Amino acid sequence: MSAQDYRINAEVRRYFVSRWVDVSRLQIGTTNGVIYILGHFETTMEDPRHRLDVAQEGGAMERLLLLARHLERDLRRIRDVRDVIFKLDNISKRGGTWRAANGAAPWMKTGGG
């Protein structure tokens, strides 16, 4: 664990806290530039982006999967990060797609019409 790893780890925690991810249910660590996220992934409230005047498509799991996708993208962009490894008990990434742990298909945005 280098000073660089600790800086990355601190930045990861800040990303999670700013997006209302419940860090108390996660193990977060960085070693040799590889970020590890283990545990149960959820937010501290039902929908931190919810606004009464904005219709939200999809349910809680779809929002969680979308959040996971955005977080992974943002974490990989942190300077000096070589890889991001998730081992979560409620969601996982398979074939490039985030899914619920029970294998439920992710929310797909339907076309208009």
Interatomic CA distance for residues 58 and 37, integer angstroms: 25
Residues 66 and 107: their CA atoms lie apart, in Å, by 9
From residue 31 to residue 60, what is the string marking binding to another protein with x (rule CB under 8 A)?
Answer: xx-x-x-x---x-xxxxxxxxx-------x
Nearer to another protein, 95 or 113 (CB): 95
Half-sphere exposure of 51 toward its Cβ, with a 13 Å CA cutoff?
Answer: 3
In the bound complex, what is the minimum distance in angstroms from residue 97's beta carbon to another protein?
9
Location of structure tokens 């501290």:
44
**Which residues of this chain interact with another protein, rule CB under 8 A?**
1-3, 5-7, 9-11, 13-14, 17-18, 20, 27-29, 31-32, 34, 36, 38, 42, 44-52, 60, 82-83, 85, 87, 93-96
